[in-house]
Amino acid sequence: MGEGTAALVVGAVGIIGTLASALLSYRQAERTHRADRDHSDLRSARQERDRLREARATLYAELNATARQYLTALSDYCHALRRGDVRDHAAEALDTARASYRNTYAQAQMTVSDPVLEALRTVNRTLGALYGSLMRLASDPGGQGPGGTPDGQVSGDPTHTVESVEAEVRRGWAHLAGLRDSLRADLYPGTVPASEPDQAPGPEPGAGSAPPARRPRSSRARFRRRGSPGRSRTSRLL
């Protein structure tokens, strides 16, 4: 092989090496860019997931708070009916709590998961039924009871009284506890145990309260009481 041919081969090898080096560099840069893009997409997806979770947690906290405030206002209104002392501020507080809850409920319907939506519907039905019962108790014009009819009945129904509405209020607190568990389980799946339902107000002291339990006498006291007649008989014999 002559000098010209050798020079041609060396030049060709150099060109091929240059092109191969450029191609390898390009492919390495492409892989690096793809990895960076994938990492950026993952980071963006994680940030979006955290943002949505934070927004959902904020909505859940507001939903739990407004539902509790609404039920508290319903309970206060029921107590006012029992006392026969329903004033404007009680009705205004109830209307404000109801409007706040209804607004939050409308937002939650578009966001919550199916299990939470089912629990939320149960609470919403309970609160709606309570509100309707209280409004009928407050507006019935006939009779002499707190609801306008004898003994606080609604439209003459002997089963629909202030006491029956108070029982519905206690059931409402149990439904709220179930909703709270559903909200927490949706935010932190598998990590939040079920909570105890809120305690409803206890019965007022009065005729319906049970008498206090008698303390059992000790065995020594019973023995002394049994032994006393024996000692007296002995003293009489002496």
62 burial level (CB within 10 Å; 0-12, 13-18, 19+) = middle
Whether 93 contacts 73, CB under 8 Å: yes
Closest CA to 73 of 92, 45, 46: 92
CA dist., res. 105 & res. 128, Å (int): 12
How confident is the model at residue 194, as a pLDDT? 58
Which amino acid makes up residue 163?
A: E
Burial of residue 90, with CB atoms counted within 10 A of its CB: 0-12 exposed, 13-18 middle, 19 or more buried: middle
List, for residues 72-118, the tens digit of each pLDDT value.
999 999 888 888 777 778 888 999 999 999 999 999 998 888 989 99
The helix/strand/coil state of 154 is: strand
For the entire predicted model, the pTM comes to 0.60
pLDDT of 74: 93
pLDDT for the residue numbered 189:
83
Region for 142 from its dihedrals, namely left if φ exceeds 0, alpha if ψ lies in -120 to 50, beta otherwise: beta
Q: How far apart are CA 208 and CA 206, in angstroms?
A: 5
**What's the number of CA atoms in the CB half-sphere (13 Å) around residue 77?**
30
| Tens digit of each residue's pLDDT (9 = 90 or more) over 213-222 | 444 454 444 4
- Burial group, residue 135, by CB count within 10 angstroms (0-12, 13-18, 19+): middle
DSSP 204: P
Contact yes or no for 82/162 (Cβ under 8 A): yes
Question: Between residues 200 and 56, which one has the greater pLDDT?
Answer: 56
User: What is residue 141's predicted lDDT score, i.e. its pLDDT?
Assistant: 42
- The more confidently predicted of residues 42 and 1 is 42
Q: Residues 134-182: pLDDT tens digits?
A: 988 887 644 334 444 444 444 445 556 888 888 899 999 999 999 999 9
Query: Between vectors from CA 114 to CA 109 and to CA 118, what angle results, nearest 5°?
Result: 75
Q: What are the extents of the domains in the chain?
A: 60-198
For residue 49 the two structure tokens come to 């997931």
Q: Which of 79, 174, 175, 191 is nearest to 119 (CA)?
A: 175
pLDDT in tens, 178-219: 999 999 999 888 765 555 555 544 433 333 333 444 444 544
List beta partners, residue 154: 157
SS3 20: helix
Residue 187 confidence (pLDDT): 87
Mean pLDDT of 34-51: 80
Give Dmax (Cα) for the chain: 156
